[in-house]
Homo-oligomer: A and B are copies of this chain.
Amino acid sequence: MSETTKALRSDAERTVRAILEAAERVLSRNPSASMEQIAEAAGVARTTVHRRFASRDALVAAMTAWATRRFAEAVDAAHPETTPPVVALYQVTANVLRVKIDWGFAMSRAVSADPEAAKVHADAEARCDRLFRRAQAAGVLRADVDPSWARRVYYALIHESAQSRDGDPDALAARLVDTLLRGVGPGPGLTAAG
């Protein structure tokens, strides 16, 4: 391919990114928004969107593919298998929050849509369970809690934290992990008064 094509492609890629980001912005607020609304938010004509993405499904597929890649990177970067459980928990949380804040819609669709993305998420789920088992062995996680319930609570808190947006990802992660492990009741050292 020529040098010209290369230069033009970088322009095209910029347009593609703009569309993907606009789609995330619009669809996270209204999942049934029209292509027209997405195009408007991206600052391009609707036909341009259709030229870049063959169909509506192709667009959301591209979104989930992009988000899934960033998600996988976020998990990997935290090295959840080799770091001490609590550290890993913080790192994974902060990293994933960074992605989820910007790509919440795409990530929510990733499980039920693309089988490729579903695989990544299933893998992440398995790694999460492994991490929780290590945490349990280290005494960070109570032994009598159902690990799958702990994971669901963890996911729910991530979702909630990503929605709230009050504070940077690191602060959100700190509050999240604190809440996950200690809850909102009186901490160790106090006797609960019922």
Binding site for B on A (CB under 8 A): 31-32, 84, 86, 138-142, 145, 149-150, 152-153, 155-157, 159-160, 164, 175, 179-194
A70 to B190, CA, bound (A): 38
Report yes or no: A139 in contact with B181, Cβ–Cβ below 8 A.
no
Report yes or no: B188 in contact with A192, Cβ–Cβ below 8 A.
yes
29 contacts between A and B (CB under 8 A): A32-B32, A139-B186, A139-B192, A140-B193, A141-B184, A141-B185, A141-B186, A142-B186, A145-B179, A145-B184, A149-B164, A149-B175, A152-B164, A155-B160, A156-B156, A156-B157, A156-B159, A179-B183, A180-B184, A180-B185, A181-B183, A182-B182, A182-B183, A183-B183, A183-B185, A186-B188, A187-B188, A188-B188, A188-B190
Report yes or no: A152 in contact with B141, Cβ–Cβ below 8 A.
no
Q: How far is the CB of A6 from chain B (nearest CB, A)?
A: 40
